[in-house]
Amino acid sequence: MQRRVFIQALLAGVSTAVMLPFSKLPAAAQTNQLTPLPIPELMRGELKDGVRVYNLNMQRGTHEFFAGVKTPTLGINASYLGSTLKMRAGEKIRLNVTNNIGETTTLHWHGLHLPAKADGGPHQVIEPGKTWSPEFKVIQEAATFWYHSHMHEKTGEQVWRGLAGVIIVEDNKTNALNLPNQYGVDDIPVVLQERQFSRDGGLYYGNSRHNMMMGMSGDVPVVNGAVAPVFTAKTQKIRLRILNGSNASFYNLGFDDNRKFLQIGSDGSLLPESFETTRLELGPGERAEIIVDVSDGKQTVLASYGDTGTSPMGRGMMMGRGMMMGGGGSSQFEFLLIKPEGTLTASAEVPQKLVSLDRLSAKDANKTRRFNLEMTMGPMMMMGLGTPFTINGKAMDMRRIDEVIKLGDTEIWQIHNSSALPHPFHIHDIQFQILDRNGTPPGPGERGLKDTVTVNSGETVRIIAKFEDYADDKRPFMYHCHILEHEDAGMMGQFTVVA
Ligand SMILES: [Cu+2]
Beta partners for residue 43, in sequence order:
85
Residues 6+ apart with CB under 8 A from 369: 403, 411, 412, 413, 414
Q: In the chain, what is the straight-line distance between the N-terminal and C-terminal CA atoms, in Å?
A: 57
Residues 6+ apart with CB under 8 A from 398: 122, 123, 152, 494
Q: How far is the CA of 492 from the centre of ligand 1 (A)?
A: 9
**pLDDT tens, position by position, 6-37:** 787 778 777 666 556 556 666 666 666 889 99
Q: How far is the CA of 34 from the centre of ligand 1 (A)?
A: 34
Residue 38, pLDDT score: 98
Q: How far is the CA of 214 from the centre of ligand 1 (A)?
A: 8
Beta partners for residue 414, in sequence order:
370, 462
Residue 67, pLDDT score: 87
Residue 310, pLDDT score: 36
Residue 309: Cβ-neighbour burial (10 angstroms; 0-12, 13-18, 19+): exposed
Q: What angle do CA 465, 150, 70 make, to 5 degrees?
A: 135
Give the DSSP per-residue string, 393-432.
TB---TT---EEEETT-EEEEEEEE-SSS-EEEEESS--B
Residue 229, pLDDT score: 93
Count CA within 13 A, CB hemisphere, residue 83. 18
Q: How far is the CA of 137 from the centre of ligand 1 (A)?
A: 31
Q: How far is the CA of 64 from the centre of ligand 1 (A)?
A: 31
Q: How far is the CA of 216 from the centre of ligand 1 (A)?
A: 11
- Rounded Cα distance, 241 and 228, in Å: 18
Q: How far is the CA of 199 from the centre of ligand 1 (A)?
A: 29
10-residue block means of pLDDT along the chain (499 residues)? 62 68 63 88 97 98 93 98 98 98 98 98 98 98 98 98 98 96 98 92 89 90 94 98 96 95 98 97 97 97 72 34 32 87 97 96 97 82 71 96 98 96 96 97 96 96 98 98 96 98
Q: How far is the CA of 384 from the centre of ligand 1 (A)?
A: 18
Q: How far is the CA of 51 from the centre of ligand 1 (A)?
A: 37
Q: How far is the CA of 414 from the centre of ligand 1 (A)?
A: 16
Q: What domains sit in the chain, N to C, each tagged with a CATH number?
A: 6-31+178-345 (2.60.40.420), 42-172 (2.60.40.420), 362-498 (2.60.40.420)
Q: Three-class SS of residue 276?
A: strand
Q: How far is the CA of 416 from the centre of ligand 1 (A)?
A: 12
**pLDDT tens, position by position, 69-116:** 999 999 999 999 999 999 999 999 999 999 999 999 999 999 999 999
Closest CA relative to residue 485, chosen from 191, 158, 203 = 158
Q: How far is the CA of 281 from the centre of ligand 1 (A)?
A: 16
Q: How far is the CA of 339 from the centre of ligand 1 (A)?
A: 36
**pLDDT tens, position by position, 327-336:** 223 357 899 9
Residue 333, pLDDT score: 85
Closest CA relative to residue 373, chosen from 328, 420, 332 = 420
Residue 326, pLDDT score: 29
Q: How far is the CA of 424 from the centre of ligand 1 (A)?
A: 6
Residue 13, pLDDT score: 78
Residue 318, pLDDT score: 35
Q: How far is the CA of 372 from the centre of ligand 1 (A)?
A: 12
Q: How far is the CA of 19 from the centre of ligand 1 (A)?
A: 29
- Rounded Cα distance, 194 and 335, in Å: 9
Q: How far is the CA of 373 from the centre of ligand 1 (A)?
A: 8
Q: Give the largest CA-CA distance in the chain.
A: 64
Q: How far is the CA of 109 from the centre of ligand 1 (A)?
A: 20
Identify each DSSP E strand in 266-304 by its residue range: 270-277, 280-282, 287-293, 300-304
Residue 51, pLDDT score: 98
Q: How far is the CA of 457 from the centre of ligand 1 (A)?
A: 10
Buried b (16+ CB within 10 A) or exposed e, 223-258: bbbbbbbbbebbbbbbbbbbbbbbbbbbbbbbbbee
Q: What angle do CA 162, 265, 111 make, to 5 degrees?
A: 50
Q: How far is the CA of 454 from the centre of ligand 1 (A)?
A: 9
**pTM score of the predicted model:** 0.93
Q: How far is the CA of 377 from the centre of ligand 1 (A)?
A: 14
